[in-house]
Amino acid sequence: MITVSVPHPKIADALGDLGEDARVIVWDPREGSAPEDERERITIACVPHASGGREVYGRLAECPDLRVIQIPSAGYEHAAPFVPAGKKLANARGVHDSRTAEMALALALASQRRLPFYWDAQRRETWDASQFSPSLADRRCLVVGYGSIGSALGERLRACEAEVVGVARSARTDPDGTEVHAMSSLPSLLPDAEVVFLVTPLTDETEGLVDAAFLAALPDDALLINVSRGRVVDADALLAELQAGRIRAALDVTDPEPLPDGHPLWSAPGCIVVPHIAGNAKMTDRRYVDLVRKQVEAVRHGDDPVNFVMMGAFPA
């Protein structure tokens, strides 16, 4: 019998009937160890958002037959150091593609069309048409991290008649027709990039990728949009460029995060900040539920998990 644990009854209701050989129980590992009568039966554990750390993953390690830990996010750097030895970690790649791409596009449009300026004028009941708001159409957009989210973003940017150039680990022509360059080519692409989207995962290679040299290579009035991870960007280098008024930014993620009261990014000119909500999706959403159902099928057939990212090595 395949036993799937989920952290809330509404998720169990959304999953519904998984077949005669599968069942769903409700267990939130943030709140305590698995029930004694279920601990040795759990096969797939779905953990809630914001649930990294030794304590939570230590409780997962107590489940001897646990095969798959399913996290609700695409990024997994917060979980990787704590995954128990022998347990397989699966991320939610694909679940958040559309939502993250939508927010990246919304941030681009809001910044390009100077919507914060007009919202402020509205609050002041002032009719001020003095600002020029450039279109996103015909802009050269560089998408750094052209994976599943990057591809979803590229589709939306092309619908806005923007030019799309991708960057990934290796060069290729994407199935959607986008020319994707290797990361090693990034410095040569920056001087022509009018809008840069960061959708890359946080790795040793991408941490601090956007440093002073990266930003200095961008043209005047370029727009940097970060929907990846805050630590991909050197915050001090970005602040220097924003305060000089040379470039603009729209940030879904920051370093540090949450952004503390009084941090200069809150009031930096030309900067939009939203609180890491680009990919937020409920675990009852269809795409997440479909992913968990696919995990049940994978276990049923003895296959590796869908979106298998790593085997745990943390000692129990």
Q: What is the pLDDT of residues 108-146, one digit of tens each?
A: 999 999 999 999 999 999 999 988 899 999 999 999 999
Encode pLDDT of 213-228 as tens digits: 999 999 999 999 999 9
- The reply to whether 299 and 265 lie within a common domain is no
- The reply to whether 117 and 229 lie within a common domain is yes
How high is the pLDDT of residue 316?
A: 60
Give percent above pLDDT 90 in the chain: 92
- The reply to whether 209 and 79 lie within a common domain is no
**Residue 227 contacts residue 198 (beta carbons within 8 Å):** yes
- The reply to whether 7 and 132 lie within a common domain is no
Residue 36 lies in a domain: yes
Residue whose token pair is 């809630």: 48
CATH number, domain at 27? 3.40.50.720
Query: Which residue among the candidates 31, 40, 179, 257 is catalytic per the annotation?
Result: 257
Encode pLDDT of 146-163 as tens digits: 999 999 999 999 999 999
Domain count, the chain: 2
Helices (H), 94-171: 97-112, 115-123, 148-159
* Average pLDDT of span 80-99: 94
Structure-token pair, residue 224:
């940097």
pLDDT of residue 52 exceeding 80, the answer is: no
- The reply to whether 206 and 254 lie within a common domain is yes
State the number of CA atoms in the 13 A half-sphere of 180 facing the CB.
21
Structure-token pair, residue 316:
């129990």
Cβ neighbours of residue 152 closer than 8 Å, sequence gap 6 or more? 97, 98, 100, 101
Which residues are registered as beta bridge partners of 196?
Answer: 142, 224
- The reply to whether 263 and 149 lie within a common domain is yes
How high is the pLDDT of residue 315?
A: 76
- The reply to whether 235 and 296 lie within a common domain is no
- What separation in angstroms does the CA of 282 have from each of 26, 132, 223, 275, 289? 16, 38, 30, 16, 10
For all residues of the chain together, what is the average pLDDT? 95
How high is the pLDDT of residue 303?
A: 96
Which of 240, 244, 247 lies closest to 226, judged by CA?
247
Q: What is the pTM of this model?
A: 0.89
How high is the pLDDT of residue 67?
A: 96
Helix, strand, or coil here: 90? strand
How high is the pLDDT of residue 313?
A: 81
Cβ neighbours of residue 27 closer than 8 Å, sequence gap 6 or more? 5, 6, 7, 34, 35, 38, 42, 45
- The reply to whether 53 and 66 lie within a common domain is yes
How high is the pLDDT of residue 21?
A: 96
Residue 45's pLDDT band, with cuts at 50, 70 and 90, is very high
Q: For residue 257, indicate whether it is catalytic.
A: yes
- The reply to whether 12 and 69 lie within a common domain is yes
Range of the domain at 38: 2-95+281-311
- The reply to whether 110 and 48 lie within a common domain is no
* Average pLDDT of span 43-56: 89
* Whole-angstrom distance, CA of residue 2 vs CA of residue 308: 18
Query: Which residue among the candidates 229, 231, 241, 248 is catalytic per the annotation?
Result: 229
Encode pLDDT of 182-196 as tens digits: 999 999 999 999 999
* Whole-angstrom distance, CA of residue 109 vs CA of residue 82: 39
How high is the pLDDT of residue 181?
A: 97
Which of 187, 185, 194, 244 lies closest to 210, judged by CA?
187
> Cis peptide before 258, with omega less than 30 degrees from 0?
yes
- The reply to whether 117 and 255 lie within a common domain is yes
Query: Which residue among the candidates 30, 78, 172, 276 is catalytic per the annotation?
Result: 276
Residue 316 lies in a domain: no
- The reply to whether 152 and 205 lie within a common domain is yes
